[in-house]
Chain A
Amino acid sequence: MRKVTTLFFVFALLVMAVFPAGAAAQELKGTIKIDGSSTVYPITQAMAEEFSYEYPRVRVTVGVSGTGGGFAKFNVGETDLSDASREIKKSEAEIAAENGIEFTKFIVGYDGITVAVNPENNWANDMTVEELKMVWEPNSSVETWSDIRDEWPDEEIDLYGPGADSGTFDYFTEVINGKSGASRSDFTASEDDNVLVRGISGNKYALGYFGYAYYEENSDSLKAVAVNGVLPNRETIASNKYTPLARPLFVYAKNSAVQRPEVEAFLKFYFENAPEIVPQTGYAPLPSYEEALAKVEKLAK
Chain B
Amino acid sequence: MISLKKKRMLTDKIFKVIFLIFISLGLVVLAALIYDIVSKGIIMLDWEFFTRFDSRFPAKAGIKAGLFGTIYVIGLMIPITFFVGTATAIYLEEYAPKNKLTDLIKLNIANLAGIPSIIYGMLGLGVFVRYLNMGRSVLAGALTLSLLVLPVVIVSAQEALRSVPNSLRNASYALGANHWHTVYKVVLPSALPSILTGFILAISRAIGETAPLIMMGALTFVMFTPQGIMDSFTVIPIQIFNWTSLPKAEFELVAASGSLLLLILLFILNGLATFIRYRYSRK
Interface residues of A (CB under 8 A from B): 1, 4, 8-9, 11-12, 14-16, 18-19, 21, 31, 33, 38, 41-42, 45-46, 48-49, 52, 59-64, 73, 78, 191-194, 211, 213-214, 216-218, 280-282
Residues of A within 8 A of B56 (CB): 42, 45-46, 49, 280-281
Q: Which residue of the partner chain A has the closest CB to B188?
A: A1
Majority-rule SS of B interface residues? loop
25 A-B pairs whose Cβ atoms sit less than 8 Å apart in the complex: A1-B189, A11-B79, A12-B78, A14-B75, A15-B76, A16-B76, A16-B229, A18-B228, A33-B232, A38-B245, A42-B246, A48-B221, A49-B56, A49-B223, A61-B222, A62-B219, A63-B221, A64-B242, A78-B136, A78-B217, A192-B244, A194-B244, A218-B247, A218-B249, A281-B56
Tell me, in angstroms, the Cα distance from A19 to B226 when the chains sit together: 9
Residues of A within 8 A of B242 (CB): 64
Contact of A48 among B78, B192, B223, B228 (CB under 8 A): B223
- A8-B78, A64-B220, A211-B247 given; 6 more Cβ-contact pairs under 8 Å: A4-B196, A11-B79, A12-B78, A42-B246, A45-B221, A217-B247
The 3 A-B residue pairs with the shortest CB-CB distance, nearest first, are A12-B79, A62-B221, A15-B75
Q: Which residue of the partner chain B has the closest CB to A47?
A: B56
Residues of A within 8 A of B120 (CB): none
Minimal beta-carbon separation of A262 from chain B (angstroms): 14
Residues of A within 8 A of B7 (CB): none
Say whether B247 contacts A19, CB under 8 Å. Answer: no
Residue B128, interface by CB 8 Å: no
Minimal beta-carbon separation of B178 from chain A (angstroms): 17
Residue B91, interface by CB 8 Å: no
Tell me, in angstroms, the Cα distance from A246 to B229 when the chains sit together: 44
Residues of B within 8 A of A192 (CB): 244-245
Tell me, in angstroms, the Cα distance from A109 to B258 when the chains sit together: 31
Minimal beta-carbon separation of A21 from chain B (angstroms): 6
Residue B102, interface by CB 8 Å: no
Tell me, in angstroms, the Cα distance from A243 to B228 when the chains sit together: 49
Say whether A214 contacts B220, CB under 8 Å. Answer: no
Say whether B246 contacts A52, CB under 8 Å. Answer: no
Contact of B227 among A21, A33, A63 (CB under 8 A): A21
The listed residue with most B CB atoms (<10 A of its CB), out of A9, A217, A281, is: A217
Minimal beta-carbon separation of B94 from chain A (angstroms): 15
Minimal beta-carbon separation of A282 from chain B (angstroms): 6
Minimal beta-carbon separation of A144 from chain B (angstroms): 31
CB contact under 8 A between A8 and B247, given known A15-B75, A15-B76, A18-B229: no
Say whether A19 contacts B220, CB under 8 Å. Answer: no
Say whether B245 contacts A9, CB under 8 Å. Answer: no
Say whether A49 contacts B55, CB under 8 Å. Answer: yes
Residues of B within 8 A of A281 (CB): 56
Residues of B within 8 A of A1 (CB): 184, 188-189, 192
Minimal beta-carbon separation of B131 from chain A (angstroms): 13
Residues of A within 8 A of B79 (CB): 8-9, 11-12, 15
Say whether B248 contacts A59, CB under 8 Å. Answer: no
Tell me, in angstroms, the Cα distance from A21 to B227 when the chains sit together: 7
Residues of A within 8 A of B189 (CB): 1
Residue B224, interface by CB 8 Å: yes
Minimal beta-carbon separation of A162 from chain B (angstroms): 11
Residues of A within 8 A of B244 (CB): 192, 194
